[in-house]
Homo-oligomer: A and B are copies of this chain.
Amino acid sequence: MDSSQFRDAAHTAIEDIVKYYDTIQDRPVLPSVSPGYLKPLLPSSPPQEGESWPAIQADLEKHIMPGLTHWQSPKYMAFFPCNSSFPGMLGEMYSSAFNAAAFNWICSPAVTELETIVMDWVAKLLGLPDVYLSDGEGGGIIQGTASEVIVTAVVAARERILRRRLKDMEEGEEKWDKMAEMRGKLVAMGSEHAHSSTHKAAIIAGTRFRNVPAPRDTGFRVTGQALRTAIKECRDKGLEPFFFTATIGSTATCAVDDLEAIAEVAKENPDVWIHVDAAYAGSALICPEYQHLCSSLASFDSFNFNLHKWLLVNFDCSAFFIKKRRDLIDTFSITPSYLRNEFSDRGLVTDYRDWQIPLGRRFRSLKVWFVLRTYGVEGLRRFIRNHITLGEYFHGLLLTRKDLFTVITGPAFALTTFTINPARPRRISSSAANRPDPMHEAYTNDFTTDAEAQYQVEVNRVTKEVYEKVNSQGEFWITATMVGGVYLIRVVSATERAEERWLKRLFEVLVGVSEEVLGLGKEGEK
């Protein structure tokens, strides 16, 4: 394919992409293919001779499109969003053209330098404390995903506590044995509602993991006291807590841990690395009305959010901010220390490879630069606030049918969670039959324990049934999860094309399906 053929092919690709985005709302968000659909449609080996672009493009339309899930559709309201944008795509285009394995400065100086600059832009945009800016001892780096970031942080934290505790020991067998023994006692911690990536990171780092309770009566938030207790319980068993993931916007309900209280715990436990996972909700910090959440961040060691979730930068783009970059370099650099110090003392170049697991790096800062400049600060704030308003709108709709829906959490960062109210119970115990009217926004604890549990089983059953029926219709995609024994439906509408009308339509679908599942006619209970 020469450059003239490329020009033609690229123009047809652009048309495909424009058409895809202009009509995305008309497609069912979930594909209807079955597992293994693609294998029979494609040859079992690559072609012997090259094929023309039109043949390839035709197969893309014919075989790949039917197997895509449309995350950019306004009818996508599952998990969290993974927003693309046109300037983000332009960034990827140039990045793939300027192709390089930019593992150090000289490998492509612009790749390193633009990354430092735009990460400083992002830190300022979010109102992060100055300690996370590159002109001090910290800075930001773009990694692929929040889960990759957490592995990086856990491994750095593991080695930091060993370095601190064993700094007076001479290098050698005895020290290594001691390090191995200590590693075996280390415990990484995260909220019971933290993303599973902290647990996975502990597996990769070879350390223990324990949950910190965040029950419903604290709003699914980890409190300072809960963390303090968890730390104490570890120590009482002779174990060494060394890492905690605090969450801004938990996966299930967008709960925010009690950061101010956790900052106090951090001060009491300077060897426990506190990482803040704000993968989705972190983008909201660009709005001043959310920046009060940043006040405690200077007390922590690292902060992460995904621009590829809610800030319009195409996947992948996870921003990892570190208070002391030396905490990463001391672990991940395999350059002899005298060289490292020379670089560091001269302060001339950043070797991001020493801040991360992989060696090579893509030119990801381009798309960030394009997105921030195309939207501008105010444009991005309008984008976020629109979703916040939509979340409130949907929450309001749920409240109009308290007979059917019970809101469990939210709207928080555009996410509302709720359950379906069972039809007036017939088969459960008499005390449960006396339960308060379901027109309460949240459960009260008036039931006897048994009756409550029995009622919850019924709530979970109907909620799951409604959830599955809505998704099986294929028009919308929502997700459900189990939190503290409650099976709840999550709705978050935060794609670029999100609009009130799609939430209204989803609400109608939810009402219709719920009435069907509960055996209610349009006129009320049968």
Give A residues with C-beta under 8 Å from B.
1-7, 9-11, 13-18, 20-22, 30-31, 33, 35-39, 42, 44-51, 53, 55-56, 60, 63-69, 71-72, 79, 82-90, 92-102, 105-111, 113-114, 116-117, 120-121, 124-125, 144-148, 151, 155, 158-159, 176-177, 179-181, 183-185, 196-197, 199-200, 203-206, 208, 308-309, 314-316, 331-332, 334, 348-349, 357-360, 362, 366, 369-370, 372-379
Contacts and interface: CB of A to CB of B under 8 A. Distances in A.
A109 B31 contact: yes
B56 A71 contact: no
Contacts of A83: 99
Q: Is chain A's binding surface mostly helix, strand, loop or mixed?
A: helix
A344 to B, nearest CB: 13
Contact of A179 (B113, B116, B184): B184
Contacts of A148: 357-358
Contact of A90 (B10, B31, B90): B10
Nearest to A89: B96
A35 to B, nearest CB: 4
Contact of A204 (B5, B95, B357): B357
Nearest to A43: B121
A124 B46 CA distance: 9
Given A39-B116, A100-B315, 19 more contacts: A6-B18, A10-B93, A13-B94, A31-B108, A33-B109, A38-B110, A45-B125, A48-B377, A56-B87, A67-B114, A68-B111, A69-B107, A82-B99, A144-B358, A144-B360, A146-B359, A155-B206, A180-B181, A180-B206
A176 B203 CA distance: 12
Contact of A147 (B35, B179, B200, B359): B359
A116 B309 CA distance: 26
A390 B208 CA distance: 53
B374 A53 contact: yes
Nearest to A66: B110
Given A47-B377, A360-B147, A7 B13 contact: no
A132 to B, nearest CB: 14
A13 B93 contact: yes
A183 B181 contact: no
A97 B89 contact: yes
B101 A38 contact: no
Given A183-B180, A184-B179, A50 B93 contact: no
6 contacts: A39-B113, A56-B87, A69-B106, A71-B99, A88-B96, A200-B359
